Structure 1
Amino acid sequence: MTIEEILSKEENQTFDRKSINISPKDLAIPIVAFANADGGDIAIGITDRTRRIEGIDFETKKLNELLRVPFDFCNPTVKVGIEKLPCVDEKGRENHVLVMHIDASPQVHANQADDVFLRVGDKSKLQTFEERLQLNYDKGERYFEDKAVPDATIDDIDMDFVKEYTDKINYGKSPLEYLKENRGFIKEKGGEIQISSAAILLFGKNPQNFFPRARIRFIRYEGTEEKFGTEMNVIKDVIFEGTLLNMINEAIAYLDTQVKEKTYLGSDGTFVTDEEYPKFVRQELIVNAVTHRAYSITGTDIQIKMFDDHIIVESPGKLPGLVRADNIRFTHFSRNPKIAEFLKNYKFVKEFGEGVNRMCNELEQVGLKDPVYHTNAFMLQAVIYNSSAEKVGYLSGKLAAESEKLAIESEKLSFQNIKLAIDSQAYNEPTKKNILKIYEEIETNQIFGAPEIERVLKCSTSTAKNVMKKLREIGVVEEIKGKGKGKYTFISEFNYTKNVN
Structure 2
Amino acid sequence: MKTKIIKAEEALIYCKKMESYFFDRKAFGIQPRQIEKHAVAFANADGGELVIGIADDSEEADPINRWKGAKNYEDFNDYIQCLVRLNPSVNFRYTFLKCEDREGIVLLLNIEKGNQVHKTSDDSVYVRHSASSILYRDPVKIQELSFAKGTSSYEDELVTNIPLECVVDSTELINFLHDISPKSDPLEYVVNQNLVDADSFEPRVASILLFSENPQANLPRKCGVKIARYETREDDPERDHLKHVYTIEGPLYKLIYSTIEKVTEIMSSIQIWTIKGLKTVEYPPEAIHEIIANAVIHRDYSISDDVHIHIFNDRIEVFSPGRLPGYVTVENILDARYSRNSKIVRSLNRYKNPPNKDMGEGLNTAFQKMKEWRLKQPEIKEEHNGVRVVIPHTPLATPEQAVLEFLKNNDMIRNRQARELTGIRSENAMKNVFYKLRDEGFIERVPGLEGSNAAWRKVKKH
- Residue 291 of structure 1: aligned partner: 297
Percentage identity across aligned positions? 28
Counterpart of 1:337 (choices 323, 335, 342) is: 342
Counterpart of 2:187 (choices 176, 193, 202) is: 176
1:373 Cα shift?
0.7
1:200 Cα shift?
0.4
CA distance in 2, matches of 1:206, 1:223: 33
Amino acid paired to 2:189? Y
Cα deviation code 1:273-307 (max 9, x no counterpart): 98521111111111000110000112x11000111
Q: Is 1:145 matched with 2:155?
A: yes
More contact order relative to length (CA 8 Å, sep ≥ 6): 2
CA distance in 1, matches of 2:425, 2:205: 36
Give aligned pairs, total.
260
- What SS does structure 2 have at the residue aligned with 1:184? coil
Q: Is 1:249 matched with 2:257?
A: yes
- Residue 172 of structure 2: aligned partner: 161
- Residue 207 of structure 1: aligned partner: 215
- What SS does structure 1 have at the residue aligned with 2:346? helix
1:316 Cα shift?
0.5
Structure 1 residues 227, 342: CA separation in 2 closer, same or farther (over 3 Å shift)? same
CA distance in 1, matches of 2:330, 2:386: 14
1:219–1:238 contact (8 Å) kept in structure 2:
yes
In the superposition, the TM-score normalised over structure 1's length comes to 0.47
CA distance in 1, matches of 2:319, 2:228: 11
Q: Within 5 A, what are the aligned runs for 1:203-282?
A: 203-209=211-217, 210-225=219-234, 227=236, 231-260=239-268, 275-282=281-288
1:163 Cα shift?
2.1
1:140 Cα shift?
6.1
CA distance in 2, matches of 1:244, 1:335: 15
CA distance in 1, matches of 2:236, 2:340: 33
CA distance in 2, matches of 1:310, 1:102: 36
Structure 1 residues 342, 102: CA separation in 2 closer, same or farther (over 3 Å shift)? closer
Q: Is 1:349 matched with 2:356?
A: yes
Amino acid paired to 2:224? R
- Residue 384 of structure 2: aligned partner: 377
1:371 Cα shift?
1.2
Cα deviation code 1:184-206 (max 9, x no counterpart): 011133xx322100000001132
1:214 Cα shift?
0.4
Amino acid paired to 2:146? Q
CA distance in 1, matches of 2:173, 2:309: 28
- Residue 7 of structure 2: aligned partner: none
1:343 Cα shift?
2.4
CA distance in 2, matches of 1:222, 1:153: 44
1:331 Cα shift?
2.1
Counterpart of 2:146 (choices 94, 99, 107) is: 107
Instruction: Let me know the Cα RMSD of the aligned residues.
Output: 3.5
Q: Is 1:314 matched with 2:319?
A: yes
1:326 Cα shift?
1.5
- What SS does structure 2 have at the residue aligned with 1:360? helix
- Residue 203 of structure 2: aligned partner: 195
Cα deviation code 1:34-87 (max 9, x no counterpart): xxxxxxxxxxxxxxxxxxxxxxxxxxxxxxxxxxxxxxxxxx99xxxxxxxxxx
CA distance in 1, matches of 2:289, 2:306: 18
- What SS does structure 1 have at the residue aligned with 2:144? coil
1:168 Cα shift?
1.8
1:214–1:301 contact (8 Å) kept in structure 2:
yes
Gaps of 5+ in 1: 1-75, 78-99, 109-137, 268-272, 395-501
In the superposition, the TM-score normalised over structure 2's length comes to 0.51
- What SS does structure 2 have at the residue aligned with 1:277? coil
2:330–2:382 contact (8 Å) kept in structure 1:
no
CA distance in 2, matches of 1:150, 1:379: 27
CA distance in 2, matches of 1:296, 1:393: 37
CA distance in 2, matches of 1:256, 1:228: 21
1:143 Cα shift?
2.5
1:155 Cα shift?
2.3
2:308–2:319 contact (8 Å) kept in structure 1:
yes
Moved over 6 A (4+): 100-103, 261-264
1:227–1:233 contact (8 Å) kept in structure 2:
no
Counterpart of 2:309 (choices 297, 300, 304) is: 304
Amino acid paired to 1:340? V
CA distance in 1, matches of 2:375, 2:205: 38
Structure 1 residues 377, 393: CA separation in 2 closer, same or farther (over 3 Å shift)? farther
Structure 1 residues 152, 228: CA separation in 2 closer, same or farther (over 3 Å shift)? same
1:327 Cα shift?
1.6
- What SS does structure 2 have at the residue aligned with 1:195? coil
Structure 1 residues 240, 102: CA separation in 2 closer, same or farther (over 3 Å shift)? closer
Cα deviation code 1:197-254 (max 9, x no counterpart): 000000113211214410000001121236577x542111000111111211211111
CA distance in 2, matches of 1:393, 1:328: 29
Amino acid paired to 1:296? S
Cα deviation code 1:383-440 (max 9, x no counterpart): 110024756999xxxxxxxxxxxxxxxxxxxxxxxxxxxxxxxxxxxxxxxxxxxxxx
- What SS does structure 1 have at the residue aligned with 2:382? strand
Amino acid paired to 2:228? I
CA distance in 1, matches of 2:182, 2:150: 27
Gaps of 5+ in 2: 1-115, 118-138, 395-419, 427-462
CA distance in 1, matches of 2:180, 2:252: 18
